[in-house]
Amino acid sequence: MNAFDIKGKLALVTGATRGIGLGAAQALAESGCDVMLVGRDEAELERAAAELRGLGTIVTVLPFDLLQTKKIADWMKGVFEQHGTPDILVNSAGMSRRGMAVDQTLEDWNDVIALNQTAMFEVCRTWARARMAEGEGGKIVNIASLMTAAARPGTSPYTASKGAVGQLTKVLAVEWASHGILVNAIGPGYIDTDLNKSLVSDPKFDSWVKSRCPLGRWGLPKDIAWPIVFLASPAADFITGQVIYVDGGWLATF
């Protein structure tokens, strides 16, 4: 038996049109998973799906705005009835609104908390209810952040939400362990994605990231994708409730 084999599994990935989510979907597809892609923009989902179908996997496009947190449960139940309940859940959808805490609007705060925290909670528990009803376990991988463990000025909603992701991951792991549901999180370092485009293109910030990171570079979506595949595989069957930082050594130094 190949302990890293996930061929034939079904994975649902939120935030799947770009960045870490798209990278995760691609790595899962390359590993033999069928994938369900969730995102707000149907055209972008179709573009991502076209790339993945070239790998010979079944790709299902599921347009939905996760900011509609009160509608998540009913929407997901319909998805599972039509397409089956996925074995693997990757929560990658997220947003950031930058600005100092005294200047942030309450709308900015509420939107970030709603997507990064509340939507993740609702997606996780709706999926878990379905797996439990079917008598099946499964794997959840949440996308946390360096900000789960540290902070920078101007990131209060994002940092608060990602701190919550770390603790949510732990409590769900403890609550659902007896059902064979394992819950972990990846805490990415600074990753070169569309979300960070303005930071990557800022020469001063770019230089700071490269000088501060022991490996001397920005991470790439694939650097996060393969650890996600590992956590989704049987090789990680005794790992749950963990936040694994994939940060180029960032948190190891000062």
Residue 90: strand, helix, or coil: strand
Q: Which sign does the torsion angle of CA 86, 232, 12, 73 carry?
A: positive
Q: Which of 64, 75, 158, 176 is catalytic?
A: 158
Cα radius of gyration rounded to whole Å, the chain: 17
| pLDDT recorded at residue 197 | 87
| pLDDT recorded at residue 196 | 85
Question: What residue has token string 């707000």?
Answer: 40
* Residue 190 annotated among the catalytic residues of the structure: no
Low pLDDT (below 70) residues in the chain: 1
246 forms bridges with which residues in the sheet?
188
Question: What residue has token string 């409730």?
Answer: 241
| pLDDT recorded at residue 1 | 62
- CATH architecture assignment, domain 10-244: 3-Layer(aba) Sandwich (3.40)
Where are the domains positioned within the chain? 10-244
CB atoms within 10 A of CB 240: 20
